[in-house]
Structure 1
Amino acid sequence: MIKLLHAADLHLDSPFSGLSPEQAAARRKEQRELPAKLAELCRIHGCDALLLAGDVFDGESVAPETVEALLAAFAACPCPVFLAPGNHDPLSTASPYRTERWPVNVHIFASRAISPVELPEQHCRVFGAGFESAYESGLLGGFSAPQDGWVNVMVLHGDALNPNSPYNAVTKEQIAASGLRYLALGHIHQASGLLRAGHTAYAWPGCAMGRGFDELGEKGAYLVTLTDSDCSLEFLPLGGRSYEILRVPAGDDAAAALDAALPPDAARDIYRVILTGEAARPDLNALYARFAPRVFSLTFRDETTPKRDLWAGAGEDTLRGLALGKLQADYDNAPDDAARRTAALAARMLCAAIEGRDEA
């Protein structure tokens, strides 16, 4: 059995432009903790190798403290580290991949040509290639691993969703023809789950830390277990803050609605609250003052529509008027608040359906 930890897209030293300067600096500091977390997961799970599928850095300009944290974490990693540079951190002359002295257990695939490294004790080969510029194509094309009883895996940055991508498009046909047991990909920031093409298993774990509202929820890495006959994945969260979008029907009391909707454990996370439905125009400044202390960062979007007279037109000699008239009678004669809410909701949904709009 072989165990691998597969991570990608750490994007160390990201700008976090949507946050305040102080918050952005705090988030970059948290990013620098990711390599040490990965090394610790390798220790806990007894991994045979750590595979990093590119975009470890967000760009060519890397802070000295970031490089220092990365080198220290990898030096402490109990297994070999294999790194395939991607489109954000290609093998430029100024890249830390070329300028720094890396620990002896780290292998950087420093060419666009695929090459192997052998792990004799595991009877395993780790193949890989790296981006030499921000755009690459065809890195996997024509590759076929030897079928000689060894376990062949590969770490590679590439886009398996867009066949026309300038970021090393990887096709299912190429993956199936590769003869690999497992292909560890990076570039796509949402985790894929276990996929197969031919006899080859492949996946991408998503980014290691969310950096915006297009990277929602919990982020982490994959623990890959290869047996003689199977491949399995386990998602291992890396902790830290997450980006969350919360849609809240504002109703008559937006503050009360948000108070009920906001999770009690939201303090570490970054929230975008979208206020919806028919309501009086909410006071966003007052809402921010009340709720911003409960989260790390908070922004609002007001998608409410002006509140209307729910029963306008009830009783008119139209399909809408007759239906509203019946619902208004149900509302007026309702035995309790629950029945009144049901009648009012039915009226709102009726009007929305007739007018061709969504009822938030």
Structure 2
Amino acid sequence: MTHFLHTADWQIGRQYGQFETDDAAMLAEARFEVVARIAALAAERRVDAVLVAGDVFDTQGVSDRTVRRLFAAMAAYAGPWVMIAGNHDAALADSVWSRAMQLDCIPPNVHVPLGTGVVDLPAINLAVLAAPLTQRHTYEDVTQAFDALDTEPGRIRVGLAHGSVAGRLPDNIDATNPIAPDRAARARLDYLALGDWHGCLSIDERTWYAGTPEQDRFRGNEPGYVLDVRIEAPGAAPAVERLATGRYRWSAWSETLSLPTDAQALAERMAALRAEDVLRLDVQGHVNMETWDALQQAVDRAAAQVRALLPDLSGLKLEPDDTDLAELRASGYVGAVAAHLQALQADAAQSAVAGEALRLLLRFQRESAMPGGAK
């Protein structure tokens, strides 16, 4: 039996510019940490090899230190690794891979083929048919060469590639780097290990995307896994097990509020979030001042307890209720200004500014009415 881990899309060096600096740094660090977890899993499970199906690095321009840290993170597993270039780290003449070789930081147990061919591992009866990308985008199926590649009789034949299986991915993505959906059958592969799609996905029993082992975007396509693959003999169906590796859980919530109870329910959901959560929150609808204040406090509390929170409340309109309006009637002029600001919220170009001005006005009037308030 041949036993290996299949992983892909590590995206080492990825930047998270939409987040606060501290959060972005922690999310970037998590990508090194998951590689260390994969190495530890490989050692614990005593696999014969680890196959990495491209996009090891997020860009060609990662620092030398980042390159060295990546290979250091793999140290817990001393068996063979086979990793290929993807579209983000294509094996150009001058690439992150050529730099890694110049830095002499690729360990001897790590195989990095820079062209299509066979990495033969006779000690574990495995032949890896590798198709690294040598440019970011191609419109030819680089795995077509697998059909004609010969391997030693009796070897387990495993393809390793990075691209899009034509017509089989659930969302519309770029048509570049195509891969034939029946490549495993055409090339007599026992298994085809793919990268590029960031979710864990089976195309057929012999063709799998491992997905990224650490979620990195707001898409619920089952990221955060590596695949444990066992093949008893050439021609046997592979036994594939998903192993959870991700630390952070990314979620995108889109909420529409019309009643105070809606805001209360949302606050309760946010209260259940934990340190491993990364949340993008889009809130629309209309609320009174009291509900707005309560919701803002709930958002602030959630931001303190999760890894990262990206709230967008720009679609939430302030509609003063009777209590709010009673406070404004203390001054005819103030009431007129409030009515004008409320009307301006309907203008998309002025909505955010008008809403914030109305909230400040209501808050000022409320504080002015309190004992010891503003005079």
Matched, 1:104 2:137: no
Which residue, out of 244, 252, 272, partners 2:251?
244
Residue number among 197, 210, 218 corresponding to 1:213 in the alignment: 218
Distance 1:171 1:17 in 2: 35
Query: What SS does the corresponding residue of 1:88 show, helix, strand or coil?
Result: coil
Percent identity reads: 25
In the alignment, the residues of structure 2 paired with residue 212 and residue 99 of structure 1 have an alpha-carbon distance, to the nearest angstrom, of 28
Alpha-carbon distance, 1:193 to partner: 3.1
Which region of structure 1 is more displaced relative to structure 2, 178-187 or 22-31?
22-31
Counterpart Cα distance in 2 of 1:182 and 1:263:
44
The CA distance in 2 between the partners of 1:224 and 1:276, in whole Å, is: 45
Residue 193 in 1 paired to residue 194 in 2?
no
Q: Which residue of 2 aligns with 1:118?
A: 120
Offset of residue 262 of structure 1: 3.1
Deviates more, 1:14-23 or 1:271-280: 271-280
State the Cα distance separating 1:296 from its structure 2 match.
1.6
Distance 1:287 1:167 in 2: 44
1:339-350 → structure 2 map (5 Å cutoff): none
Cα distance in 1 for partners of 2:310, 2:99 equals: 40
Computed over aligned residues only, the root mean square deviation of the Cα atoms, in angstroms, reads 2.8
Q: Do structure 1's residue 289 and structure 2's residue 300 form an aligned pair? A: yes
Q: 2:158 aligns with which of 147, 153, 161?
A: 153
Partner of 1:173: 182
Matched, 1:226 2:231: yes
Q: 1:34 to 1:85 in 2, by over 3 A?
A: same
1:38 aligns to what? Answer: 38
Give the Cα–Cα distance (whole angstroms) in 2 for the partners of residues 257 and 85 of structure 1: 46
Structure 2 SS opposite 1:33: helix
Conserved 8 A contact 2:85-2:91: yes
Counterpart amino acid of residue 230 in structure 1:
A
Is 1:138 matched with 2:149? no
In structure 1, C-alpha distance between the alignment counterparts of 2:61 and 2:159, rounded to whole Å = 27
Q: 1:261 to 1:64 in 2, by over 3 A?
A: same
- With over 3 angstroms needed to count, the CA separation of the structure-2 counterparts of 1:115 and 1:260, relative to structure 1, is same
Q: More displaced, 139-148 or 201-210?
A: 139-148
Measured in 2, the distance between the counterparts of 1:272 and 1:62 equals 27
**TM-score of the two chains, using structure 1 as the length reference:** 0.75
Mapped partners of 1:91, 1:128: distance in 2: 13
Distance in 1 (CA, whole Å) between partners of 2:174 and 2:301 is 45
Q: Which SS does the other structure have where 2:202 is aligned? A: coil
TM-score, length-normalised on structure 2?
0.72
Q: CA deviation at 1:287?
A: 3.7
Contact 1:75/1:105 (CA < 8 Å) preserved in 2? no
Q: Please say if residues 162 and 177 of structure 2, whose CA atoms lie closer than 8 Å, have aligned partners that are also in contact.
A: yes
Query: Shift of the alpha carbon at 1:156?
Result: 0.9
Give the Cα separation in 2 of the matches to 1:98 and 1:58.
Answer: 15
Q: Which amino acid aligns with 1:299?
A: L
Question: Structure 2 CA distance, aligned partners of 1:241 and 1:9?
Answer: 16
Deviation at 1:219, TM superposition (A): 0.7
Equivalent residue number for residue 89 of structure 2: 89
2: CA distance, partners of 1:221 / 1:73: 16
* In 1: Cα distance, 2:6 partner to 2:301 partner: 41
- Unmatched 5+ residue regions in structure 2? 320-375
Is 1:260 the equivalent of 2:268?
yes
Bigger mean CA deviation after superposition, 126-135 or 82-91: 126-135
Q: Structure 1 residue 230: deviation in Å?
A: 2.3
Q: Read off the aligned partner of 2:114 and give its amino acid letter.
A: A
1:148-198 deviation digits (Å, cap 9, x = unpaired): 3221001111111459955320012333201100010000111103624xx
- Measured after TM superposition, the shift of residue 46 of structure 1 is 1.1
Structure 2 CA distance for partners of 1:217 and 1:227, relative to 1, 3 Å: closer
Alignment deviations for residues 213-234 of structure 1 (CA, whole Å, 9 cap, x no partner):
1366651211111123221211
Q: Deviations over 1:229-248 (max 9, x none)?
A: 22121111113112112355
Q: Is the 8 A contact 1:248 1:257 kept in 2?
A: no
SS in 2 for 1:189: coil
Which residue of the partner structure matches residue 5 of structure 1?
5
Checking the alignment, whether the CA contact within 8 Å between 2:43 and 2:76 is kept in structure 1 is no
The alignment partner of 2:142 has SS state of coil
Q: Distance in 1 between matches of 2:166 and 2:84?
A: 19
Q: Larger helix proportion, structure 1 or 2? A: 2
